[in-house]
Amino acid sequence: MFDIVIIGAGPAGASAALFCAKSGKKTLLIDNNKSITKRAWVENHYGVMEITGPDLVEIGKKQVTKFGAETIQDTVKNITKTENGFSLETDDQTYEANQVIIATGLAIDLAEKVGIRTKEGTEPRIKTVIDVDLHGKTNIEGIWAAGTAAGVSVHTIITAGDGAKVAINVISQLNGERYVDHDVLKS
């Protein structure tokens, strides 16, 4: 049983997984290797002079594993509510999670399949997004959404920040108090 399973390892999902893993939560990041970031050239991401999208995604995956998250390449086919959280069925296996964060970029078919409310997108060429509140909660308690799937801008810096925000909110809810992750300069 994982505390948190994140679906999608683009900037939103990997950023969420990074915060979840650093907080000590048992974290799984599931990626289908179809991120639109894989086609990007990035020069507008703070702290990065320039980077290919594929390199940004790979660095993100390395960061999350550094802090103890598990990462797998697979496709989530279904999410069902269980007594203790959720069951996530993939092509290869079934995983159990207390909380789920959907960060699937342009792909919202899984969300629609499991009954998550959607709404019209506001970004160019993004027709439909997951309907979330200010914290990233969907209409299904325990399922959250972040990044482009949740209606934020497609820019990597913005989706990464949204993934972090949603993760902080999930961790805070699980802990029963506001969680803060501040690293201190090592001397």
Query: What's the longest Cα–Cα distance across the chain?
Result: 50
Residue 181 within any structural domain of the chain: no
How far apart, in Å, are the Cα atoms of 73 and each of 93, 118, 124, 156?
11, 26, 29, 21
Range of the structural domain that residue 90 is part of:
2-175
pLDDT digits (tens, 9 = 90+) for 135-180: 999 999 999 999 999 999 989 899 999 999 999 999 999 999 999 9
Quickly state the pLDDT bin for 48 (edges 50, 70, 90). Answer: confident
Domain containing residue 90: CATH number = 3.50.50.60
Q: Residue 124: its pLDDT value, please?
A: 87
118 forms beta bridges with: 130
Cα separation, 50 vs 55, whole angstroms: 10
Kindly state whether residue 58 falls inside one of the protein's structural domains: yes
In a domain, 186, yes or no: no
Mean pLDDT, to the nearest integer, of 108-125?
95
Residue 182 lies in a domain: no
Residue 184 lies in a domain: no
Is 183 part of a structural domain of the chain? Answer: no
Q: Which helix (H) or strand (E) holds 88?
A: strand 85-90
Overall domain count for the chain: 1
Strand 85-90 to 76-82 pairing: antiparallel
Task: Please name which of 79, 73, 148 lies closest in space to residue 113, comparing C-alpha atoms.
Answer: 79
Mean per-residue pLDDT, 22-33: 96
Q: Say if 119 falls within a structural domain.
A: yes
pLDDT single digits (tens) 71-84 = 999 999 999 999 99
User: In this structure, is residue 141 part of a structural domain?
Assistant: yes
